[in-house]
Amino acid sequence: MFNFHLTRFVRLSILYKVLDCKEMIVDMGFGMDAFRLDGKVAWITGAAYGIGFAIAEAFAAAGARIAFNCRDERHLDKALEDYRAKGIDAMGCIGDVSDEAQVERMVREIEAKLGVIDILVNNAGIIRRVPMLEMSAADYRQVIDIDLVAPFICAKAVIPGMIQKGHGKIINICSMTSELGRETVSAYAAAKGGLKMLTRNICSEYGGANIQCNGIGPGYIATPQTEPLRQRQPDGSRHPFDQFIVAKTPAGRWGEAEDLMGPAVFLASDASNFVNGHILYVDGGILAYIGKQP
Separation of alpha carbons 234 and 236, rounded Å: 5
Does 226 bind ligand GCO (CB under 6 A)? Our answer is: yes
Percent helix, percent strand, percent coil in the chain, to nearest 5: 55, 15, 35
Q: 188 catalytic, yes or no?
A: yes
Among 215, 218, 263, 284, binds ligand GCO (CB under 6 A): 218
- 273 with 166: CB under 8 angstroms? no
Residue 189 to residues 185, 196, 213, 292, Cα–Cα distance (Å): 6, 11, 20, 24
Rounded to a whole number of angstroms, the minimum distance from the CB of residue 244 to ligand GCO is: 10
Answer yes or no: are the C-beta atoms of 134 and 87 closer than 8 Å: no
- Report the partner that residue 142 touches, choosing among ligand GCO, ligand NAP, none (CB closer than 5 to 8 A by kind): none
Sign (positive or negative) of CA dihedral 98, 101, 102, 107: positive
Choice from 97, 143, 148, 265 touching ligand NAP (CB under 6 A) = 97
Residue 135 near residue 128, CB atoms below 8 Å: yes
Task: Rule CB under 6 A: choose which of 167, 225, 251, 270 binds ligand GCO.
Answer: 225
Residue 126 engages ligand NAP in binding (rule: CB under 6 A): yes
Does the footprint of ligand GCO cover residue 255 (CB under 6 A)? no
Between 39 and 262, name the residue whose CB sits nearer to ligand NAP. 262
Q: Where are the alpha helices (DSSP H) in 86-149?
A: 100-114, 137-144
Binding-site partner at residue 67 among ligand NAP, ligand GCO, none, CB < 5 to 8 Å by type:
none
Binding positions for ligand NAP, 20-59, rule CB under 6 A: 45-46, 48-52
Task: State which of residues 84, 113, 141, 182 lies at the interface with ligand GCO (CB under 6 A).
Answer: 182
Shorter beta-carbon distance to ligand GCO: residue 14 or 190: 190
Instruction: For the CB of residue 124, give the shortest distance to ligand NAP in the complex, in Å.
Output: 4
Q: Which residues contact 19 (CB under 8 A, 6 or more apart)?
A: none
Residue 185 interacting partner from ligand NAP, ligand GCO, none (CB closer than 5 to 8 Å by kind): ligand GCO
Spatial CA neighbour of 243 closest among 225, 230, 260, 256: 230
Note the residues at the interface with ligand GCO (CB under 6 A). 127, 129, 175-177, 182, 185, 188, 218-220, 225-226
